[in-house]
Amino acid sequence: MPTGLTNTTTHPSSGTTQLTFDAIDAATTHSTQDVQLIYPSASKNYKITTAVIPPGSKFHPGAHWHEDYDEIMRVVKGRARIRLGKEWRVYGPEDGEVLIRRGVVHDFMRADASGSVKGEDGVEGDLVIEEWSEPVDGSKELFFRHAFSIQADSALFGWKIPLQMLLLLMYTDTFLELVPGPVGWYVTHGLYAGVVAPLAWVVGVRPFYDEYTPERLAGVRGELEGRMGKGKKD
């Protein structure tokens, strides 16, 4: 277990960070992956996370799906290119809430990240996008706080970062699309259960850390750790 972790429990945001979950390459730093997350606050009932992606950033979390909750996104400013299933589409503030059903593979990025919509109105400037889950149980915030804190403390995790990030994804209902199509479910679940979980135990990596967990999310953390320890229930 790493020692000397930064206490980020009271941080209101991630700060501008270079981060990607594309495939399992979570440890790689890219100068074009800048993103800032503003964590849920009391003024928004600890529900909504806001992502701010600056011009020039090609940040995208990577194709993934969730099995325990639906996800909702809303573009507040700019244009976002959002993938739902196999289809990519450009969304703006006028489109309102974008519902992503559980089990649907999704991803998002700036609309101009692929170079296909340059010159379109609303593309310039920051992309500001809000997202939340239904039901809201705090697990998304716990995930985001750990993901960005781990990246900030990357020197302390060293070569274990990819394993650490995969373990976090596993515990917070985030399944990477490593192989497209129905077989991808078996590949990802097999990787998580057959490789990530046992290897994390051997090298002393944990899914969550006190230094990254606000007190109000301690119960959520305990529930997630308990569920994974017993195995998911149908």
CATH code for position 152? 2.60.120.10
**For residue 52, with 0-12 CB atoms within 10 Å meaning exposed, 13-18 middle and 19 or more buried, which class applies?**
buried
Domains in the chain, number? 1
Closest to 48 in 3D by CA, of 13, 18, 21, 6 = 13
Tokens of 216: 């109000």
Q: What is the pLDDT of residues 116-144, one digit of tens each?
A: 555 555 678 999 999 999 999 999 999 99
Provide the whole-model pTM: 0.87
Quote the pLDDT of residue 121: 56
Distance CA 226, CA 230 (A): 6
Coil vs helix vs strand at 132: strand
Report the b/e string of 63-92 with b at 16+ CB within 10 A: bbbbeebebbbbbeebbbbbbbeeeeebbb
Instruction: Assign 211 to helix, strand or coil.
Output: helix
Angle between helices 139-152 and 218-230 (to 10 degrees): 90
Q: What is the reported pLDDT for 231?
A: 53
What are the strands of the beta sheet with 64-65, ordered from one edge?
87-91, 80-84, 106-110, 64-65, 175-176
Nearest to 228 by CA among 200, 203, 193: 193
Name the stretches of the chain with pLDDT < 70.
16-31, 115-122, 230-234
Q: What is the pLDDT of residue 227?
A: 85
pLDDT value for 165:
95
Tokens representing 20?
Answer: 């990607």
Give pLDDT, residue 45.
82
Burial class, 183, CB count within 10 angstroms (exposed 0-12 / middle 13-18 / buried 19+): exposed
pLDDT of residue 130: 96
Instruction: Domain of residue 164: give its range.
Output: 1-234
* Separation of alpha carbons 118 and 106, rounded Å: 23
Q: Which residues are CB-contacts of 142 (< 8 A; sequence separation ≥ 6)? A: 172, 208, 213, 217, 220, 221, 224
Which pLDDT score is estimated for 149? 94
